[in-house]
Amino acid sequence: MSNLTRKEVEAIAHLARLAITEAEMPVVVKSLSSILAFVEQLNAAKTEGVEPMAHPLEGQTQRLRPDAVTEADAHEKYQKNAPQVEAGLYLVPKVIE
């Protein structure tokens, strides 16, 4: 499964919400294929009965805190970084006709 087709790469790019230009496409197809071929060495490892490890520290559990407001409202400060804002709202192209 390591040689990806252009069509497959286009599908991945769509899922990742990335526009890939015509000029970029051949390099992307080639390098993604080589990365997938490279990681296929993992198939050689014997992993029957091994629990997948998602966190490097054992016995750590996610902490809970009281459900209370701890942050002050700073939306004006945060929205200074937004490309387009109006009346405290983020603007995007029309979604519903």
* Interface ranges with other proteins (CB under 8 A): 1, 9, 12-21, 24, 27-28, 31-32, 34-36, 38-43, 45, 47, 50-57, 60, 62-63, 65, 74, 77-78, 80-84, 90, 92-95
**Least distance from other proteins to the Cβ atom of residue 87, Å:** 16
Q: Are 33 and 3 in contact (CB under 8 A)?
A: yes
What distance separates the 2 farthest-apart alpha carbons in the chain? 58
**Least distance from other proteins to the Cβ atom of residue 77, Å:** 5
Q: Are 4 and 31 in contact (CB under 8 A)?
A: no
